[in-house]
Structure 1
Amino acid sequence: MTEATDQAAPYPSPELQTQMPAAIMRGAHQIELGHIPKPVPAPGQVLLRVRANSVCGSDLHYYHEGKIGSAVVETEFTPGHEFAGELVEGTGAAFGLPDGTLVAVDPAQPCHHCPWCYEGHHHLCPNMIFVGAPPYAGAMAEYIAVPVSSVFPVPQGFTAQQAALLEPLGVAMHALDLAKLRPGTHLAILGAGPIGLYLLMLARLSGALTLSVIEPQAYRRGRALELGATAAYASVSDYLQAVKETPRRGADVVIEATTSPDGPRHATEAVRIGGKVVLVGIPDGDEFSLTASQVRRKGLSIKLSRRMGNIYPRAIEYVQRGLIDVNAIVTHVLPLSQVRHAFEMLETYQDQAIKVVLIP
């Protein structure tokens, strides 16, 4: 616990620091560009000039509701956890990382001392410090200081945008690990946002026989078909109508990646008897319900996915080998000064937005 607290050492007083531009969130629907003190790295940390930061669905939850569960925006803070940056000011020298090194960053900082960390479940650490989740400052800013243990230098040829998108790709990879897809699996994905589309792209490489996507937004269904979905449906009822004459009358595996409180129930409706459901999405309102008789009578296996394990090396290799084009879901690249517009656009599905990347 002490180690984790040290990682989040407070900045020196503002009057001793240079100010830098940053997104400032004060609560639901309150975000704007302002200025905060430039961070001073604590021992064991490196200073990064942020080069790209993509807006995550979690960021949108803070914007839409001012909280995710017990993580509440009580005082102003800077969001952003899907990011990449370059080492600056010699802070990486002691670790063999020269200035200018482009790195991806794992935003999760587990304590490494609790029973769950000892068991290898670092992503479930209850003492977790998570960059960009209140009260911890995120990367929608010009600079950020992070533990050197959190950075992953990316290979030559990687762009900052690709490096930033390794985080959501890793979340999708972890969920697919839980699904344990086998060759010949009939898969359905609920939600064609960034995570759902990455799941689709990864599932194509994992031997799924059919890849059905269920998504109410027509433009997102279209993008799913472009990225390899075998079919796309506007609703679960449409999907069930299409498969009612098939032997399974449902998917072997359903992965839910929506923000809807109805998403988990819809997933259990779409899966076959004896099938598996993996829940990835964070529901609005922090609650969802299931129909007990349906879940019980189908004898379903249900897994909940949280963040990711030690995924970054695998994610980097997938992108380096050209197996996954992480840029395929990016619809907009905007300057950080347009951060409010980026959040408004994603919340209301303006201009066919799927993934927005902010550049400080």
Structure 2
Amino acid sequence: MQGAVFLGDRKVELREFPDPEPGPGEVVVAIRASGLCGSDLHYYRDRPGAATTTGKYVAGHEPAGVVHAVGPGVPADVAAVGDRVMVHHYAGCTRCDHCRTGWPQMCSTAPTRVFGTHEHGAHAPFMRVPAATLVPLDRALGFAAGAAIGCGTGTAWGGLDRLGDVGGATIAVFGQGPVGLSATLLATARGARVVALDTEPARLVRARELGAVATIDPTAVRAATALRELTGGAGVPLVLETSGASRAASDGLASLAPWGRMCVVGLGGEVRFDVLDLHRSQMTLMTSWSMSIVQMRRCAEFVARNEVPIDDLFSHHWSLDQVAEAYEEFDKQSAGKGVIVFDGP
């Protein structure tokens, strides 16, 4: 089979790999959709020859598809040929407390394996994974939606969960890329009033379409000032930072109301503050690392039950042989979410 690999220096290409076969406790998934994630760009842009740009592993960590083959020792109620599934894209020891509570990315006894980085990922027709990583995909959801929930949309869900009950509250979502737009869509569905911030006008338009009650371009106005004006000077009780920009993190802190909570999910930036400036605010600052496998399932159930239009996040659908074009477009960071789709029932 052919699979896409990152070579660094904004290069991705297709290479030949053997068709995978399942070992004990494993399944092979026939991929139907494989999402492009913002974290992919770190490897796409990395220096050639780095550990993640050697062409050794198939890229892609947002898989959704159909169980194609089942290995020995996998109970039929866990996986059967033909099951529609998503994949939680981490694998740990399965025995430590973190793994047993659904957080294999926080495994305390073994190096975390990330599909698409340390193991073959989903930018290929087939993918071998431990059966324990599978999450059922409701027939009400398409495969592209399942792929999004596998990381980008699921990461937004995880960040919202970290912030607590958002219903009835105003939340500022910094960054309206795929994760930020997902947060805007999900927070709105969970009863929040979303103020969306981004420097790209087209993304602010999409945020409005997906439920934001107001939008702010931080290059046109001072973000913290604008947020305080929108809240009658009080500030916002909740902030979700998805852009990975240090300036956005600073603006988010500056816009918090007393007792406000801010969660950072964007990668690449720095969060700095003077303790004296914020000491009396009683604010809470936290991070969120994607989501647990339990949260992934709950996110999918919420989306299906409430008919949340996750498919509206997608601006581009690509075939595998268009992968170079797909990442060239995605690298511009001006559109919505992209997904590689494969033929199949």
TM-score normalised per structure 1: 0.84
CA contact (8 A) 1:240 1:249 kept: no
1:4 counterpart residue number: none
What are the equivalent positions in structure 2 for 1:91-170 lying under 5 Å apart?
Answer: 91=71, 94-96=74-76, 97-117=79-99, 121-126=103-108, 127-133=111-117, 135-167=118-150, 168-170=152-154
Q: 1:212 aligns with which of 161, 174, 195?
A: 195
2:322 counterpart residue number: 338
CA contact (8 A) 1:251 1:271 kept: yes
1:73 equivalent in alignment to 2:58: no
TM-superposed CA distance for 1:30, in Å, is 2.2
1:47 counterpart residue number: 28
TM-superposed CA distance for 1:44, in Å, is 0.7
What are the equivalent positions in structure 2 for 1:265-344 lying under 5 Å apart?
Answer: 265-283=250-268, 287-293=269-275, 294-309=277-292, 310-344=294-328
Answer with 259-268 or 331-340: which moved more. Answer: 259-268
Change (3 A) 1:90 1:146: closer
What are the equivalent positions in structure 2 for 1:181-220 lying under 5 Å apart?
Answer: 181-208=165-192, 210-220=193-203
CA contact (8 A) 2:177 2:203 kept: yes
CA contact (8 A) 1:107 1:131 kept: yes
Between the aligned partners of 1:194 and 1:231, the Cα distance in structure 2 is 18
CA contact (8 A) 1:331 1:356 kept: yes
Q: Which runs of 5+ in 2 are unaligned?
A: none
2:54 counterpart letter in structure 1: T
1:45-73 Cα shifts (integer Å, max 9, x gaps): 01111111010011112112359xxx942
1:356 counterpart residue number: 338
Change (3 A) 1:129 1:358: same
Between the aligned partners of 1:245 and 1:326, the Cα distance in structure 2 is 28
1:240 equivalent in alignment to 2:225: yes
Between the aligned partners of 2:180 and 2:17, the Cα distance in structure 1 is 34
2:239 counterpart residue number: 254
CA contact (8 A) 2:3 2:16 kept: yes
1:185-243 Cα shifts (integer Å, max 9, x gaps): 221010111111111122123332x3111110000000000111110000171452353
2:142 counterpart letter in structure 1: T
2:42 counterpart residue number: 61
CA contact (8 A) 1:190 1:258 kept: yes
Between the aligned partners of 1:184 and 1:49, the Cα distance in structure 2 is 41
1:36 counterpart residue number: 17
TM-superposed CA distance for 1:348, in Å, is 1.2
Partner SS for 2:202: helix
Partner SS for 2:66: strand
Aligned-residue sequence identity (percent) comes to 27
1:80 counterpart letter in structure 2: G
Partner SS for 2:3: strand
CA contact (8 A) 2:65 2:84 kept: yes
CA contact (8 A) 1:200 1:228 kept: yes
Q: Which runs of 5+ in 1 are unaligned?
A: 1-19
Change (3 A) 1:52 1:274: same
Partner SS for 2:28: strand
Between the aligned partners of 2:206 and 2:295, the Cα distance in structure 1 is 26
TM-superposed CA distance for 1:29, in Å, is 1.4
Answer with 314-323 or 138-147: which moved more. Answer: 314-323
The alignment yields a C-alpha RMSD, in angstroms, of: 2.5
Between the aligned partners of 1:277 and 1:223, the Cα distance in structure 2 is 23
TM-superposed CA distance for 1:347, in Å, is 1.2
TM-superposed CA distance for 1:140, in Å, is 0.5
Change (3 A) 1:107 1:121: closer
Between the aligned partners of 1:234 and 1:132, the Cα distance in structure 2 is 34
TM-superposed CA distance for 1:87, in Å, is 1.6
Between the aligned partners of 1:304 and 1:240, the Cα distance in structure 2 is 24
CA contact (8 A) 1:233 1:239 kept: no
Between the aligned partners of 1:92 and 1:312, the Cα distance in structure 2 is 26
1:151-187 Cα shifts (integer Å, max 9, x gaps): 1232334322122122122221111111113443221
1:337 counterpart letter in structure 2: D
Partner SS for 2:222: helix
TM-superposed CA distance for 1:98, in Å, is 3.7
Between the aligned partners of 2:90 and 2:341, the Cα distance in structure 1 is 22
2:62 counterpart residue number: 82
